[in-house]
Amino acid sequence: MSVNGGEAKKRLGVLVSGSGSNLQALIDACAQPDYPAELAVVISNVPTAFALERARRANVSAVALDHKSFADREAFDAELVAALRAHRVDVVCLAGFMRLVGKSFLDAFPQRVLNIHPSLLPAFPGLHGPRQAVKHGAKVAGCTVHFVDAGLDSGPIIAQAAVPVLPEDTEETLAARILIQEHQLYPLAVRWLCEGRIEIRDRTVHVRGGAPAIDAHALRSPGGAR
Ligand code: GAR
């Protein structure tokens, strides 16, 4: 398929483990005719994840690969790579995928694996970003889209959105506020990558077409397309 201007749409492979609300945001973005990507496959390591149901409803291939049925991470990663390649995936989006991926996986998709994380990295990597922010007494929290590298939530940062932490916040209320921003931010960052606007120099990500102004209230693409 092609987008305006005749460029081929990039094929997304989305890895999930849970509810898949970020997957839904990507499904909705891909439904726009001018969006530069299409969904090729959704893969979950949790066979009962609701995200797989979202994929089926959108007529996207939905694959369950239970990591527990593999001997080790290498074997699981090899199967993930095989499934992504079988669906001719260009860009891999981790969307609530609660597994680390190894070097052989990353080597198969160099600078083509993105993750969304519910904190303003490098603060609060790992599990339960919103819980960590509330416990720490942070006044500002948010979400980050970044390239995945061999570390834990440590790859080059593409985009971030901030939200306030309110005095009465619990982990749940803060996570819900952050999630609203995630659903805007992830499709925007994927758009930039698929339009070939992203360059990494040292570990700083530059987005061609103007510096994106990212805040919780005004998410804009450099080209003003969203
Ligand atoms: C999202 O908040 C995502 O940022 C987070 O899991 C949630 C998944 O929600 N990911 C991580 O914590 C990864 N370390 P979703 O399944 O509704 O998209």
Which of 75, 110, 145 represents a domain boundary (last residue)?
110
Interval 129-156: pLDDT, tens: 999 999 999 999 999 999 999 999 999 9
- Are 93 and 194 part of one and the same domain? no
Which ligand 1 atom sits nearest the alpha carbon of residue 179? Answer: 2
Cα-to-centroid distance, 95 and ligand 1 (Å)? 6
- Are 152 and 54 part of one and the same domain? no
Q: Is residue 3 in a domain?
A: no
- Around ligand 1, the residues with Cβ closer than 6 Å are 18-22, 51, 95-96, 116-118, 129, 179, 182
Which ligand 1 atom sits nearest the alpha carbon of residue 117? Answer: 4
Cα-to-centroid distance, 5 and ligand 1 (Å)? 33
Domain of 194 in residue numbering reads as 116-226
CATH of the domain at 90: 3.40.50.170
- Number of structural domains found in the chain: 2
Interval 161-176: pLDDT, tens: 999 999 999 999 999 9
- Are 183 and 123 part of one and the same domain? yes
Choosing from 67, 117, 128, 206, the catalytic residue is: 117
Separation CA 81–CA 136 (nearest Å): 37
Q: Is residue 53 in a domain?
A: yes
Cα-to-centroid distance, 72 and ligand 1 (Å)? 24
Q: Is residue 54 in a domain?
A: yes
Interval 6-30: pLDDT, tens: 689 999 999 999 999 999 999 999 9
Calculate Rg over the CA atoms of the chain.
17
Contact of 37 with 91, CB cutoff 8 Å = yes
Which of 83, 110, 137 represents a domain boundary (last residue)?
110
- Are 34 and 133 part of one and the same domain? no
Q: How confident is the model at residue 214 (pLDDT cuts 50, 70, 90)?
A: low
DSSP per position, 81-129:
HHHHHHTT-SEEEESS--S---HHHHHHSTT-EEEEESS-TTSS-SS-H
Active-site residue, 117 included: yes
